[in-house]
Structure 1
């Protein structure tokens, strides 16, 4: 598998190019660590309005794919009669590659407070995937994708729940498989950055507080449900809560102390 997504007209980043990334592992990591993804598509060519839906999804490589061109895909979970599933089905029935769509993932890691409102920023990670979505019809791949998505909520949750799913559950659920045609990411880490003219003004520097407010997801203490009979919090849940909270906090604080992103200079360009 390629280590970077090739540049084309779909995914080339134009604004803040120095924060762009096309690294496959980085983009996969952003998508897989975002609890809710947003998929956008045009439901009807006769209407100018696209639709954006929140969905649970995960990047994955189906191990049963024996083709030489096997690539990672974005798997999304949804209800059998939902509009997005119907549109994907219709696209395939017309002989197309699938339903054209875009998936977006964003994580905020800090609020960057600067001297002037115009230079305030976020520390963040974002990824955008372009591709064509179709319905997973192979039962083995569908079950594998369900396990992949379930374990993205809490690792090892699939094995620690009532499995395998009943036939009625499998029939009411569909898996959307988005094959990626282009992808890009943007990452901002670092301390505040201001214009030189403001950095020379003592009246502003003496009055305005600047810095980063780290932002990170925190999972609270597990709360037993009304019919729960298991007294002890399972290890796979407790360890996930602890590791996730530590990792998220560590990343946000480390990002808040890194140097501000530097724009790439063109040959011969002065400071």
Structure 2
């Protein structure tokens, strides 16, 4: 994936990566993205769930959503995703940083018209948010699918940017008796909590600890 000029970062350019494997791995781990676009000379930035399949990123929304209406027109968008792995604590505030993995991509939305494909996208997205849950749930009705718009975005103009490792302290700061290192950050799924209607129901296998 060759970098376009607008994909080359102005700072820390050496952290940029353009291979699909890196980009895909970050997109597949992240649950939410932020879609930014301009409409009526005003900027908009909307967080939403998404799923990647092959070289496309998919989102869904109500057919009555103004957000979806704008995007299905094919307006140019910038989609961003960030995963935070650790806070990097240096010996000076100036050298503090973050270990992260991020993706920025530029694309345009295309409305999916085929119900079969919409069903597939909704299944992929559902199983991404709650793994292995689609077949357990009450099947989605055709009228529910008709009330849902699915948009696809090509992942052709995309770049990843990452940082790993310990602080990069200035040479004169390294001898200082000030603690430095990293504070790892993890996003974990805790044990499910039932609502009142499910208190007497057994926890399904796909929701048991270690499964989701």
TM-score range, shorter chain: over 0.9
CA distance in 2, matches of 1:104, 1:60: 17
Match of 1:248 in 2: none
Normalised by the length of structure 2, the TM-score is 0.93
Q: Secondary structure at the match of 1:209?
A: coil
Larger fraction in strand: 2
Q: Secondary structure at the match of 1:195?
A: coil
Match of 1:95 in 2: none
Greater C-alpha radius of gyration:
1
Deviations 1:204-252 (A, max 9, x none): x22x2111110010211111121116633222122xx5267xxxxxxxx
Structure 1 counterpart of 2:77, from 74, 93, 101 = 101
Q: Secondary structure at the match of 1:242?
A: coil
Match of 1:14 in 2: 10
CA distance in 2, matches of 1:129, 1:243: 31
CA distance in 2, matches of 1:25, 1:230: 44
Q: Which runs of no fewer than 5 residues in structure 1 stay unpaired?
A: 62-71, 92-97, 245-271
Deviations 1:78-115 (A, max 9, x none): 111112321234x3xxxxxx221111110111011001
Name whichever of 25-34 and 214-223 sits farther off. 25-34
CA-atom RMSD in angstroms = 1.6
Match of 1:82 in 2: 65
TM-superposed deviation, 1:19: 1.4
Contact kept? 1:132, 1:180, Cα under 8 Å: no
- Is 1:130 paired with 2:106? yes
Where do 1:175-254 residues align within 5 Å? 175-199=150-174, 202=175, 205-206=176-177, 208-228=178-198, 231-238=201-208, 241-242=209-210
**Deviating 4+ runs (over 3 angstroms):** none
Q: Secondary structure at the match of 1:10?
A: helix
